[in-house]
Amino acid sequence: MATKNLSEYNPDFIPNASEMSFGIVVADWNHEITHTLLKGCHDTLVKHGANPDYIKTIHVPGSYELPKGAAWLAQHSWRDKEDQIASADAVIILGCVITGETRHDEYICNAVSQGLMQLNLAHEIPFVFGLLTPRNLEQAQDRAGGKYGNKGVEAAVTAIKMVATHNQIIDEDVFASEDGWFFDDFLNDFDDEDVDGFGLN
């Protein structure tokens, strides 16, 4: 059970997002909640340096459609005001599924989480989970700008950190080469007998 603002963080530890591009997919079902998440997410990205021209937002009808919207956005490029082409370094999904009288919330939440995990494994860029799963409207409001913060803020911070981590891995990858991986070149220097000695055949 939450007892404090979950969106509090130290801004000094957040990377600069000025060179990053983001996609946001927001579900319009429970829009009084999800649009508040969207504002918190967008404002946080801009707060940490992201250019609004490099933040692309699309809307889908409900939370079930979030993974498909995220997949579309991951493959989409757009032009900014200066006619420069941008594409997302990370995609954030925002939605709200409130428990009702039936078990619909379980099926939808499981589908969204599974869909997002598949996208994360299939794509190089990160997909960030910003789906609220409250038992009632009050719990949703508490987490959409209320006493427990704003899940959209948390999703934005996670996206920035993930892009920075991905960029760091790429920059520090001493094994990468234009023609392939360093280890591939290493193996090419050995004949089959040598390779067998390494236990690789």
CATH number of the domain encompassing residue 147:
3.40.50.960
**Tens-digit pLDDT profile for residues 124-138:** 999 999 999 989 999
Residue 118 in any domain: the answer is yes
Residue 190 in any domain: the answer is no
**Domain limits for position 168:** 17-173
Residue 33 in any domain: the answer is yes
**Tens-digit pLDDT profile for residues 64-80:** 999 999 999 999 887 77
**Is 104 one of the catalytic residues?**
yes
Distance (Å, rounded) from C-alpha 165 to C-alpha 195? 34
| pLDDT interval class at 200 (50, 70, 90) | very low
Q: Is 58 exposed, middle or buried, given 0-12, 13-18 or 19+ CB atoms closer than 10 A?
A: middle
Residue 6 in any domain: the answer is no
pTM of the model: 0.81
Residue 104 in any domain: the answer is yes
Query: Does residue 185 register a pLDDT over 80?
Result: no
Residue 126 in any domain: the answer is yes
Neighbours of 189 (CB within 10 A): 8
Q: What are phi and psi of 152, to 5 degrees?
A: -65, -35
| pLDDT interval class at 90 (50, 70, 90) | very high
Out of 31, 35, 59, 104, pick the active-site residue.
Answer: 104
- Domains: count for the chain: 1
Residue 182 in any domain: the answer is no
Residue 65 in any domain: the answer is yes
